[in-house]
Structure 1
């Protein structure tokens, strides 16, 4: 993108708006210019056309921009302002302005539909939309996972390169299982066969340590391997054979995982000229692709993989045979076999972590929480981990205890704890059935847990005390405090959730009375986030009262 022309255009637009007394949505216009520059080869204001607006608002925005459908009128209004500016500055003529406005009139009812159509989402938008912090409407498990995904970041500026972006904690397979898997990787099996064949026949490499052309042809015919040159280069790199081709390391000196770690480095970092995936450009981008999969720790649909490669400018549509690339990566031990998804193998996950560690990066390993005590479980879930891993840990932890034991340990560990920890404990307990009744009842005497215990009992049709108005307010503040980290991370999604299911104004007005340590923070968050102006104003007033009471 040419940042200079966009900055200059935005400055001129801001000045034009001030001169004419117009309230110009400069940020939205900048976004229009940025995306036009990035994806439509618009290099100056005069390059805008009616087709450019149609492509921007009905194709690029739905693919790239995480925005709710109801935001479409604001974007179209900004586009109309841009047309007015283009006409006023004589970047376009009157006839062109008429055509642009006509296109925008047609786009306006279509754009909300396009923004809501998930089939149009690009890869990045699909992934981040799936990570929405839906804390107030989700079930117990997903509430925990949205909290666990939020980690406190130091207040310093980060760059976006992989070396500076923190790596997530990963759960590794047992070393014995990894060793067995390493011995069965087809790529390594074929490399060892080739080395043994070379040594058995008294064959030697070239003076540069490469496979001779004649030997490569014979190996292809006799061993049924497709790329003996790659196999020999891999064998040398991993230490299966010396450069001279005179010895093979085996027996006590042969550690399959050491060989595998060197294999991962070879596959993702060496210039393999397309021999790994079948495409030169994809081989060159393999580190980035594997890094993305490592960070997601989830399988990615093949169509989204293709879109990812297109979005980063690696290929034009249709150039790479992705299923064939996945098959080749499965042969290399890096990907699970399959035609619909791309997913790292446990062996690849281990090998990439070894690679990161060797590069001096912090690559944390997630502990097994199924045998932890309750405080360790809660702390582990709050440290941030993928949803599937957290679900498995919670399920395993509960299986190791009776419902009564689980309640006693979880709720007993969070008395007096911060609301986030208490929220995690409560949402895990919410998974349990009526056989945990007596253990839950024991916490009716705990002021901070009593409202949650009453709610747990009443939702299961069990006898329970009525919640007082003060307890209803306290629990509302407590659950909103639980959602605060996710709300700060994704304020737009939080605002959407609050619009759908947030407390009404008359409840917010009374929240200042709640004796909760985070009531001021909660009310200030509501004051910033609520889209209903009346409710937001009530929250700001209540926050002022809560601060005043604390001072007094």
Structure 2
């Protein structure tokens, strides 16, 4: 994760590149510095060594960074640029630079092999890679960040590491505190821990001098209480404050509220050395933080089979190895995942607990706002932030329920007058759910050049009187709606190509699109040119894109 010295180094590198007339791959060098800082105790540029480069490119990158093997030459080239920069700024001497270059020469043919070796992948990287590059975008409503809904400007997107484990945590939707507290009080792991504490206190039993459960008491607890692992439950009770141990004496805990106890329980389960007592396997217990972190970031169910495939791939599942269904059952018992045979998904309690853990570690873990009470601009911006489709749908329904159709249409269309096409598309899509009761509000935007075609289409599709669209307006609306599809088309070009084959604009319309005064007309035509399956129509799109670029230059 970037720290101050990395930011300064990148700024200096940019200035150095400009002075040298070099096209420096700043993003790749930043990634090298970030990982060196996080994993190799590199605290300044002068701390880089040949061994650091070897560890970065042949060990850390294969474990942490989702990158195809063919990207290795770009990374090695960036490392060579970094060496030149270090030498030129006298952070290292000539002999050290030569040693570094020699190491990079040896690394270059080895790095693609290392990136392709799935046995080296960490848990999060393996699962993200197996799910595909678009895993984070599945089921997401128009994932566009940095958008200014007002249209006055667009905020630049900060440079970030591409690794899922180092990327910023997504905003998450939290359940109401009263619901979380009620559910925390019912987690089987915690209820069994409380039963064990009460049993110990009622029987006047004492722990060992180190505060652990005596073997005799553990055996009796298993027989009398029916708990599978009383040793784990006792350690959990001590960690969460359910019981206080002073020497060999035990006392009631401090009476923390259920959520405080639950937060401590999550920390214990995913971070402490539990020796396989949580999942049934030592190695999987050690991977538990990475697995939970991945589920938190995805905000989507992950097939259990995919987790099993990964565990098998790294040798944790074989004859006599991990029983994956049993591990999932244990995680459900701990309150971390929803019980199910097909997919793995965090419980609302687990989401809350992990966020509490992250914030305790000093990480920024944003909470997604309740969009039902937001104004139209905030609703649109929230929907564009990349939330899961189910949450987005809930927010839209709740937002509409608080307004009449007339109010909703007026607020939504008013919020995107003059805004970028992606924001306009979100507003128009929601307004399209409204019935004829919204007519007056929609009709009020017939005078807005960008919203007029959409307003006419809305009125006409409901059998209401509307002016006829000119050919120019038809073209403009076609480009505007296709611009909305660009993010999804880039993520899933095959599906986009299928949709265009079935219901895309005809060739004669595409040929004329270059005349449209729309800021994204070139992007739309280039997308059509590489996506359409009809060779002649695709060629027409490419020609139109050339004309549109020439028109813009002229």
Superposition TM-score, scaled by structure 1 size: 0.70
1:522 corresponds in structure 2 to 524
**Corresponding residue to 1:147 among 142, 146, 167:** 142
Q: Give the aligned partner of residue 383 of structure 1.
A: 385
User: Could you say which residue in structure 2 is the equivalent of 1:199?
Assistant: 201
Asked if 1:160 corresponds to 2:184, the answer is no
CA distances 1:168-198 after superposition (whole Å, capped 9, x unpaired): 2110011122122222222112212222332
Residue 467 of structure 1 is matched in structure 2 by 469
> 2:317 matched to 1:322?
no
Q: 1:332 to 1:421 in 2, by over 3 A?
A: same
Question: For 1:503, which of 494, 502, 505 is the aligned residue?
Answer: 505
Check the 8 A contact 1:123/1:307 in 2, yes or no. Answer: no
Q: Are the counterparts in 1 of residues 406 and 440 from structure 2 also a CA contact under 8 Å?
A: yes
Over residues 199-249 of structure 1, what are the superposed CA-to-partner deviations in whole Å (9 max), with x where a residue is unaligned? 343332222221111121222223222211111111122222345354546
Q: Deviations over 1:475-533 (max 9, x none)?
A: 01111222233444555654554455433443222112212233233334444555555
Higher mean C-alpha displacement, 267-276 vs 238-247: 238-247
User: How many angstroms apart in 1 are the aligned matches of 2:295 and 2:315?
Assistant: 18
Q: Is the 8 A contact 2:187 2:333 kept in 1?
A: yes
Which residue in 2 is equivalent to 1:70? Answer: none
Q: How many matched pairs?
A: 435
Query: Structure 1 residue aligned with 2:241, among 233, 236, 239?
Result: 239
In the alignment, the residues of structure 2 paired with residue 463 and residue 300 of structure 1 have an alpha-carbon distance, to the nearest angstrom, of 49
Q: Is the CA contact (8 Å cut-off) linking 1:227 and 1:275 kept in structure 2?
A: yes
- Report how far residue 313 of structure 1 moved: 4.8
Query: Helix, strand or coil: the match of 1:510?
Result: helix
In structure 2, the CA distance between the partners of 1:38 and 1:332, relative to structure 1 (3 Å rule), is same
In structure 2, C-alpha distance between the alignment counterparts of 1:426 and 1:268, rounded to whole Å = 44
Query: What is the rounded CA distance, in whole Å, between the counterparts of 2:359 and 2:502 in structure 1?
Result: 45
**TM-score of the pair, normalised by structure 2:** 0.69
Equivalents in 2 of 1:534, 1:232: separation in Å?
A: 72
Structure 2 equivalent of residue 284 of structure 1: 286
Equivalent runs, 1:319-358 vs 2, <5 Å: 319-358=321-360
Paired residue for 1:481, among 483, 492, 504?
Answer: 483
Asked whether the 8 Å contact 2:141–2:392 carries over to 1, the reply is no
Q: Distance in 2 between matches of 1:132 and 1:170?
A: 15
Question: What is the CA distance between 1:383 and its match in structure 2?
Answer: 1.1
The change in CA–CA distance for 1:346 and 1:236 in structure 2 (over 3 A counts) is: same
1:213 corresponds to 2:208: no
Please list every run of 5 or more consecutive structure 1 residues that lacks an aligned counterpart in the other structure: 11-29, 41-121, 134-141
Q: Distance in 1 between matches of 2:245 and 2:519?
A: 67
- Superposition CA RMSD, Å: 3.5
Classify the secondary structure of the residue corresponding to 2:175: coil
Q: Which residue of 2 aligns with 1:422?
A: 424
Q: Does structure 1 conserve the Cα–Cα contact (< 8 Å) formed by 2:372 and 2:398?
A: yes
Q: Report the alpha carbon displacement of residue 312 of structure 1 after superposing the two structures with TM.
A: 5.4
Map Cα deviations across residues 257-279 of structure 1 (whole Å, 9 max, x no partner).
Answer: 22211111111122222221223
Counterpart selection for 1:264 from 263, 266, 275? 266
- Cα 1:313–1:424 change in 2 (3 A) is farther
Give the whole-Å Cα distance in 2 for the aligned partners of 1:299 and 1:201: 44
Unpaired runs of 5+ in structure 2?
1-57, 63-68, 74-108, 120-126, 148-155
Distance 1:132 1:299 in 2: 13
How far apart, in 2, do the equivalents of 1:243 and 1:255 lie?
A: 19
CA deviations over 1:426-464 (Å, ceiling 9, x no partner): 011112233333332232222211111222233334433
Partners of 2:550 and 2:213 in 1: how far apart? 80
* Separation (CA, whole Å) in 1 of partners of 2:436 and 2:450: 21
1:539–1:318 Cα change, 3 Å: farther
Match of 2:182 in 1: 180
CA displacement, residues 29-83 of structure 1 (integer Å, 9 cap, x when unaligned): x9xx97997479xxxxxxxxxxxxxxxxxxxxxxxxxxxxxxxxxxxxxxxxxxx
Q: Where does residue 435 of structure 2 map in the other structure? A: 433
* Residue equivalent to 1:393: 395
